[in-house]
Amino acid sequence: MAFMKKYLLPILGIFLAYYYYSANEEFRPEMLKGKKVIVTGASKGIGEEIAYHLAKMGAHVVVTARSEETLKKVVSRCLELGAASAYYIAGTMEDMSFAEQFVAKAGKLMGGLDMLILNHITNNSMNLFSDDIHLVRKNMEVNFLSYVVLSVAALPMLKQSNGSIVIVSSTAGKMANPLVAPYSGSKFALDGFFSSIREEYSVTKVNVSITLCILGLINTETAMKAVSGILDTNASPKEECALAIIKGGALRQEEVYYGSSVWTFLLLRNPGRRILEFLSLRSYNMDKFINNQALP
Ligand SMILES: NC(=O)c1ccc[n+]([C@@H]2O[C@H](COP(=O)([O-])OP(=O)(O)OC[C@H]3O[C@@H](n4cnc5c(N)ncnc54)[C@H](OP(=O)(O)O)[C@@H]3O)[C@@H](O)[C@H]2O)c1
Ligand SMILES: *[C@@H]1O[C@H](CO)[C@@H](O)[C@H](O)[C@H]1NC(C)=O
Ligand SMILES: *[C@@H]1O[C@H](CO)[C@@H](O)[C@H](O)[C@H]1NC(C)=O
Ligand SMILES: *[C@@H]1O[C@H](CO)[C@@H](O)[C@H](O)[C@H]1NC(C)=O
């Protein structure tokens, strides 16, 4: 106990202070001016608001979702708000070849890519899980696998620009909740995969940042409909949420927490996991992987 008090707690304190409060650069909207950004799931909800913020900041945007009609409106609003350019490409992220081709087309339209904001999800309702394997597969494909496909397709462009991948996740991707098992599974998968890739990038000196955004309940139409009569929590505004996501991405933060209490987020940040990740990385011999990866 004396050892704990004398050494462990101060070390823990310093470690946490370093990770959470290390002097971050201040966010300025000009950081996004002229940047080339993709936003998925941008026909409504948080994605739509992300597109509008980016437009106001003078970025180039390519938005996607399935419904062409709504995307058209989002693009014309973006142009009104001051986007350097704005395009849409409609399609479904159930289709992995669409996902791949989408990134190539978007890159061509903008002449490169600085930030890939992955935000779309398949529709869900809150329900007990019994045996709907089809729904689990759909959640894994749309909410997770397509994110991997999109990132792989975007990586060459992001390497060139020292760019960023921004992944929109949820508290349900960090802790258990009833009634959302397929969704939660797909959001946990994002954390496992992209946090792992982040460690690889750091070791192999790939300067592409990965930001995982952990959101509480946000007042989008879809979410309000889904939780109505089931969940009694305050919802945070989607506009402010969208801005928090962009800020986190621009500042190259590892994680963004928005839309729940300070206490929830303090606990979800899970210092135990951070310490273990930090320590376990040191027992790997990564040399033979670095040599292969360093080639352009
Ligand atoms: N709202 C919340 O309370 C909350 C909480 C935590 C996390 N989040 C996360 O925030 C993100 C956005 O949520 P939201 O509430 O803004 O959702 P939303 O309003 O329902 O928007 C979802 C977007 O995804 C698109 N989409 C749906 N199915 C698709 C498919 N098969 N292929 C391609 N695009 C598809 C939708 O457009 P189309 O239908 O036209 O395709 C729409 O643009 C999600 O990642 C969600 O997990 C939200
Ligand atoms: C998703 O939307 C489709 C089409 O509106 C509907 O048939 C399906 O039941 C919805 N799925 C869930 C899980 O809510
Ligand atoms: C990317 O970062 C490297 C190292 O800081 C720098 O030399 C290079 O100019 C940057 N490239 C771009 C396009 O910003
Ligand atoms: C990575 O890219 C960012 C953004 O261009 C730049 O600020 C930073 O210096 C780069 N870091 C390294 C290690 O090259």
Span 7-25, pLDDT tens digits: 666 666 666 666 665 556 8
Span 102-140, pLDDT tens digits: 999 999 999 999 999 999 999 999 999 999 999 999 999
pLDDT for residue 283:
93
Q: Check pocket membership of 125 for ligand 2, CB cut-off 6 A.
A: yes
Dist. CA 138 → ligand 2 center (Å): 11
For the chain, the average pLDDT equals 94
Please, which residues have CB within 8 angstroms of residue 191's CB and are 6 or more apart in sequence?
169, 173, 174, 212
pLDDT > 70? residue 293: no
Which residues belong to the active site?
Answer: 183
Dist. CA 162 → ligand 3 center (Å): 6
* Residue range 290-295: mean pLDDT, rounded: 61
* Residue range 173-178: mean pLDDT, rounded: 98
Q: What is the CATH number of domain 29-122+136-267?
A: 3.40.50.720
Query: Is residue 79 within 8 Å of residue 55, measured between CB atoms?
Result: yes
**Cα distance between the two ends of the chain:** 51
Closest ligand to the CA of 36: 3
What single-letter DSSP state applies at residue 131?
A: S
Q: Where are the domains of the chain?
A: 29-122+136-267
pLDDT for residue 288:
85
Strand order in the sheet with 164-170: 85-90, 60-65, 36-40, 115-118, 164-170, 209-215, 255-258
| Residue 29: φ, ψ to 5° | -55, -30
Q: Which of 220, 239, 243, 265 for mutating ligand 1's site (highest number of atoms within 8 Å of CB)?
A: 220
Which is the closest atom of ligand 4 to the Cα of 205?
Answer: 13
